[in-house]
Chains A and B, each alone.
Chain A
Amino acid sequence: GEDVEQSLFLSVREGDSSVINCTYTDSSSTYLYWYKQEPGAGLQLLTYIFSNMDMKQDQRLTVLLNKKDKHLSLRIADTQTGDSAIYFCAESMDSNYQLIWGAGTKLIIKP
Chain B
Amino acid sequence: SQTIHQWPATLVQPVGSPLSLECTVEGTSNPNLYWYRQAAGRGLQLLFYSVGIGQISSEVPQNLSASRPQDRQFILSSKKLLLSDSGFYLCAWNNIGEYYGYTFGSGTRLTVV
A contact set with B: CB distance below 8 Å:
30-31, 33, 35, 39-45, 48, 50, 86, 88, 90, 92, 95-99, 101-104, 106
Q: How far is the CA of A50 from the CA of B94 in the complex (A)?
A: 17
Can you sample 8 A-B contacts with CB below 8 Å? A39-B41, A41-B107, A43-B104, A44-B104, A45-B100, A45-B102, A98-B32, A99-B102
Instruction: Using CB atoms and an 8 Å cutoff, list the residues of chain B in contact with chain A.
Output: 6, 32, 41-44, 49, 51, 88, 90, 92, 94, 96-107, 109
Q: B99–A30 contact, CB under 8 A?
A: yes
The answer for the CA separation of A42 and B7 in the assembled complex, in Å, is 12
- Identify the 6 closest CB pairs spanning chains A and B, nearest first: A103-B43, A42-B104, A43-B104, A42-B106, A31-B99, A45-B101
Most buried by A among B49, B51, B101: B101
CB distance from A77 to the nearest CB of B (A): 22
Question: Which residue of A40, A43, A48 is within 8 Å of B100 (Cβ)?
Answer: A48
Question: Chain A nearest CB: distance from B39 CB in Å?
Answer: 11
Indicate if the CB atoms of A96 and B32 lie closer than 8 Å.
yes
- Provided the pairs A92-B99, A97-B98, A97-B99 are in contact, do residues A43 and B90 lie with their beta carbons within 8 angstroms? yes
A104 B42 Cβ-Cβ under 8 A: yes
CB-defined contacts of A88 to chain B, threshold 8 Å: 44
Instruction: Evaluate contact between B103 and A45: CB separation under 8 angstroms.
Output: yes
Instruction: Kindly identify which residue among B44, B49, B92, B109 contacts A40, using a CB–CB cutoff of 8 Å.
Output: B109
Interface contact B96-A86, CB-CB below 8 Å: no
CB pair B105–A99 under 8 Å, yes or no, is no
Given contacts A33-B101, A43-B90, contact A95 B41 (CB under 8 A): no
A96 to B50, CA, bound (A): 11
Contact B96 A95 (CB under 8 A): yes
